[in-house]
Amino acid sequence: MTMNSGMKKKSPFLVLARILILAILIVAVIHSGRFANFMDIYSLVFVIIGGVALILMSFTAREIAAATRSAGKAIGSHPENHKSLTFWESSSRSFWMVGVLATLISFVIALTNSEGGVEGIATRMASALIPTVYGVILSVICFVPVLKLKEARTLSLPKEITEENEKTQDRITAPLSFENIIGYVLIIAIIIGTFIKAAISSKTPIFDAWEWMIYWPSFLVVLGGTIALVLFVGNSAKGQTFTLGFAVTGLIGSLMGIIQVLLGFSSRSIQDIAAAVTFILSSCFFSLIGMMLVGAPLEDRSIKDLKTAKRSTLSRVAWYVFPLVTLILLVITFVIVVTPIKKQFGN
Amino acid sequence: MDDLLKQVFQDDLPPEIERRMKNQFIQFKENIERADQESDRTSRIIWQRFFKPISWDWLRWVIRKEVMAFSSMIMIIVGGFLHVSGHHNAMAKTLSFLNTSVSISNQVQEAKSMECKMQVTAEDGLHLTYTIRWFSPEMTRADVYEGEIAIKSLWVAGPEIVVADYINTTYHKYQSLEQIEDHEFMAVMGFLSPERLAAAIYKEWEPRQYRKNDQIQKGTYVYLNDGGKVALEMTVDMNTNLPVRIKKFAFDPTRTADAYELTMEAQFSWDKLNSPQHLIPQSQRDNLGAKDILKIRS
């Protein structure tokens, strides 16, 4: 692609017309009422703000502006295109992960509110999957520039750049920028704010969602397991080890929980099953939070600062597969809750 | 004209002037770049000062590999121990409660027969006693007693609903339970069929809390209804997941302490083989002839 073709600007009227058509379509969909069940404004706000917060945790405003300007067109130098690709890939991942996190939190909050009886709770638990839909849509939108940039084939960095940067990585540690701090504050604020909102809006809560959020057994197992794995593998500065550590410990915690669920089914003890399910969901929550707050930003910063040549495949697997596992476990939990345990009686 | 311009603006500056001009350009460019990076640099300096090695010396000891490895092992062991030892968690209790409620609702819906004795305190302070029997999911009979005397009976046999008033000796047929106007039956509407009771447990009663007594295999489940104005306490046989007793408490806003007052208590016996002859109330069986029964049944 030549510089001229890359720099070719689209007519502002064309861009405006596209936005207008999209807006009309969205309004028409909302007014049709057919998708009323899929509308949840707070979830949408959570996913958007959460996704933006995760992006801010990894990139500066200038880098975001540069990547947004290029919007998937390989126009700059190799490092610039590399940064742009990193940005869009991280954005795609962030929205996907925030969508699943929002679903997990909504699912737990649905359990705290007894309005409408068991049926009402079950309905709200099912509706908790809506944020994932939002997350997936936004993730796909952000993935389009990634595909375009990859098509441009101008992204592979000269080998000497990455080698030189990898040599100096231990000596230079880039401090967090102001935007990064804002990102961290924003994501923590929106998570805590959601729990506070749930506590205030629920007239007669069955239990306090904070009790689940601060579930010590899962927290200790996930954190301890991750630290042990990071110490064993080493090289934590790039973030890949943390991503993998949180994903693996979350998965181990979930598997332990699943075994306990199966044992609970064999002994027909709903108390054991419920305790195991709580452990599973809480492990998934802490692992997701760890991957989002520690693993992903470290790895993003390492890549954009050219200290790492490319993303680790294992990290990609962790980012995309672990949230999927969490979703599957949520669906299983829903099925467990609404499936009656039959007992024999009578003559 | 062109020649004139070329002559006036010749590209033949003296070397010293040209060097100074170049320096000016370079300086100008540097100033612009410096201004762009100024904000980044300021925050960088603040952070570097904050994170300078001396400030965080104590952290070096904490993040020593040996300490971290030991801490991680302790965390895993303590976490595992807390989980295995049944660490108290409200969410686990709620999940358990919800699943048990679903199971109770399901068991009630699938029940073949039931006999229930109920005592109700009406709003006017009158005490009424009820006997409700389910012969099958679609066949129910409810009797209302004032003292020992049956005053009214209700029959549900498929689509046929009949209310007999023994005081006024009248019979009324209805198409649905909602059409019944006799206020005596309003308090027991939710108990007139397995489907109704199951639906109330699943859709209307809001789970609150529960406690279990493993020794006697009984669990007590508390629900709220009507926006918290009514509290229901259901004692369940954990072997069958069927209610053995339901107590209903109404909120009394006039009282300050112990604001809920008992208004209804029901005792259940499940899957007792009920004879079809129970379709006629015992006290009235002798008074009603076959013709009357046929009238009611038709």
Stronger pLDDT, B60 or B245, i.e. the higher one: B245
* A54, A56, A67 from A301: Cα distances, Å: 12, 11, 15
- Residue to mutate among B39, B48, B75, with most A CBs inside 10 A, is B75
Partner-chain contact B270 A345, CB within 8 Å: yes
Tell me, yes or no, if A178 comes closer than 8 A to chain B by beta carbon.
yes
B114 three-state secondary structure:
strand
pLDDT digits (tens, 9 = 90+) for B85-101: 877 778 888 888 888 89
Least CB-CB distance to B206: which of A117, A224, A227? A117
A90-94, A231-235, B170-174: least confidently modelled range: A231-235
Task: Check pLDDT > 80 for residue B82.
Answer: yes
- Report the distance separating Cα B151 and Cα B164, nearest Å: 8
pLDDT score of A266: 83
Stronger pLDDT, B68 or A80, i.e. the higher one: B68
Task: Check pLDDT > 90 for residue A93.
Answer: yes
Stronger pLDDT, A73 or A313, i.e. the higher one: A313
Using an 8 Å CB-CB cutoff, list chain B residues near A117.
201-207, 223
What percent of chain B clears pLDDT 90, i.e. is strictly above it?
6
Tell me, yes or no, if A56 comes closer than 8 A to chain B by beta carbon.
no
- Report the distance separating Cα A106 and Cα A322, nearest Å: 18
Partner-chain contact B105 A115, CB within 8 Å: no
pLDDT score of B174: 86
Tell me, yes or no, if A207 comes closer than 8 A to chain B by beta carbon.
yes
> A9: pLDDT confidence band, cut at 50, 70 and 90?
low
Amino acid making up residue B245: R
Would you state the structure tokens that stand for residue B224, as one six-digit string? 């709220």
Per mean pLDDT, which of A322-336, B58-72, B133-147, B252-266 is the most reliable? A322-336
Stronger pLDDT, B63 or A76, i.e. the higher one: B63
pLDDT score of B39: 58
Minimum distance, in Å, between the CA of residue A48 and any CA atom of chain B: 26
* B107, B114, B239, B241 from A344: Cα distances, Å: 9, 15, 8, 9
Task: Check pLDDT > 60 for residue A150.
Answer: yes
Residue A205 and residue B207 in contact, taking contact as beta carbons nearer than 8 Å: no
A20 three-state secondary structure:
helix
> A185: pLDDT confidence band, cut at 50, 70 and 90?
very high
Partner-chain contact B94 A175, CB within 8 Å: no
- Residue to mutate among B51, B94, B232, B269, with most A CBs inside 10 A, is B94
Partner-chain contact A206 B74, CB within 8 Å: no
Q: Per DSSP, what are the bridge partners of residue B270? A: B114
Tell me, yes or no, if A215 comes closer than 8 A to chain B by beta carbon.
yes
What percent of chain B clears pLDDT 70, i.e. is strictly above it?
73
pLDDT score of B275: 59
pLDDT score of B84: 82
User: In what side-by-side order are the strands of the sheet with B170-174?
Assistant: B170-174, B160-165, B149-157, B139-146, B127-136, B114-121, B260-270, B242-251, B230-237, B218-225, B206-213
Task: Check pLDDT > 70 for residue B165.
Answer: yes
CATH topology of domain B91-297: outer membrane lipoprotein receptor (LolB), chain A (2.50.20)
Partner-chain contact B74 A217, CB within 8 Å: no
A23-32, A65-74, A113-122, B259-268: least confidently modelled range: A65-74
Tell me, yes or no, if A182 comes closer than 8 A to chain B by beta carbon.
no
Using an 8 Å CB-CB cutoff, list chain A residues near B223.
117
Q: What is the ipTM of this complex?
A: 0.78
Listed residue (A260, A253, A243, A261) closest to A317, CA to CA: A243
Q: Using CB atoms within 10 A of its CB, is residue B236 exposed (0-12), middle (13-18) or buried (19+)?
A: buried
Minimum distance, in Å, between the CA of residue A18 and any CA atom of chain B: 34
Buried b (16+ CB within 10 A) or exposed e, A326-337: bbebbeebbebb
Placement of tokens 């070719």 in the chain? A8
Is this model's pTM higher than 0.95 or not? no
Count Cβ atoms below 10 Å from residue A46 Cβ, excluding itself: 25
> A94: pLDDT confidence band, cut at 50, 70 and 90?
very high
- Residue to mutate among A59, A278, A286, with most B CBs inside 10 A, is A278
Least CB-CB distance to A270: which of B87, B96, B202? B96
Using an 8 Å CB-CB cutoff, list chain B residues near A343.
103, 107, 239-241
Partner-chain contact B79 A176, CB within 8 Å: no
For the segment A54-78, the average pLDDT, to the nearest whole number, is 77
> A131: pLDDT confidence band, cut at 50, 70 and 90?
very high
Tell me, yes or no, if A202 comes closer than 8 A to chain B by beta carbon.
no
Using an 8 Å CB-CB cutoff, list chain A residues near B90.
206-208, 211-212
pLDDT digits (tens, 9 = 90+) for B133-158: 888 888 888 888 887 788 888 888 87
Stronger pLDDT, B48 or B109, i.e. the higher one: B109
Mean pLDDT of chain B: 78
Chain A nearest-CA residue for B80: A217
Q: Using CB atoms within 10 A of its CB, is residue A152 exposed (0-12), middle (13-18) or buried (19+)?
A: middle
Chain A nearest-CA residue for B112: A346
For the segment B54-76, the average pLDDT, to the nearest whole number, is 76
Task: Check pLDDT > 50 for residue A6.
Answer: no
Stronger pLDDT, A166 or B224, i.e. the higher one: B224
* B113, B149, B267, B271 from B280: Cα distances, Å: 17, 14, 21, 19
Least CB-CB distance to B224: which of A204, A219, A340? A204
Task: Check pLDDT > 80 for residue A74.
Answer: no
Amino acid making up residue B66: E
For the segment A63-74, the average pLDDT, to the nearest whole number, is 74
pLDDT digits (tens, 9 = 90+) for A295-319: 888 888 888 776 666 777 888 899 9
Chain B nearest-CA residue for A283: B79
**What are phi and psi for residue B175, nearest 5 degrees?**
-85, -30
Task: Check pLDDT > 60 for residue A346.
Answer: no
- Residue to mutate among A206, A273, A329, with most B CBs inside 10 A, is A206
Tell me, yes or no, if A216 comes closer than 8 A to chain B by beta carbon.
yes
pLDDT score of B298: 35
Chain B nearest-CA residue for A222: B76
Tell me, yes or no, if A223 comes closer than 8 A to chain B by beta carbon.
yes
> A2: pLDDT confidence band, cut at 50, 70 and 90?
very low
What percent of chain A clears pLDDT 90, i.e. is strictly above it?
30
Count Cβ atoms below 10 Å from residue B297 Cβ, excluding itself: 11
Partner-chain contact A343 B102, CB within 8 Å: no
- Report the distance separating Cα A50 and Cα A33, nearest Å: 27
A198-207, A221-230, B108-117, B256-265: least confidently modelled range: B256-265
A28-42, A311-325, B119-133, B160-174: least confidently modelled range: A28-42
Tell me, yes or no, if A177 comes closer than 8 A to chain B by beta carbon.
yes
Task: Check pLDDT > 60 for residue B290.
Answer: no
**What are phi and psi for residue B212, nearest 5 degrees?**
-120, 145
Using an 8 Å CB-CB cutoff, list chain B residues near A286.
none
pLDDT score of A173: 52
- The strand pair at B206-213 and B218-225 is best described as antiparallel
For the segment A208-234, the average pLDDT, to the nearest whole number, is 86
Residue B249 and residue B272 in contact, taking contact as beta carbons nearer than 8 Å: no
- Report the distance separating Cα A191 and Cα A189, nearest Å: 6
pLDDT score of A71: 67
A112-116, A177-181, B7-11: least confidently modelled range: B7-11
- Report the distance separating Cα B11 and Cα B85, nearest Å: 90
Tell me, yes or no, if A254 comes closer than 8 A to chain B by beta carbon.
no
Residue A222 makes CB contacts below 8 A (sequence gap 6+) with: A246, A249, A250, A253, A283, A286, A287, A290
Would you state the structure tokens that stand for residue A121, as one six-digit string? 């709770």
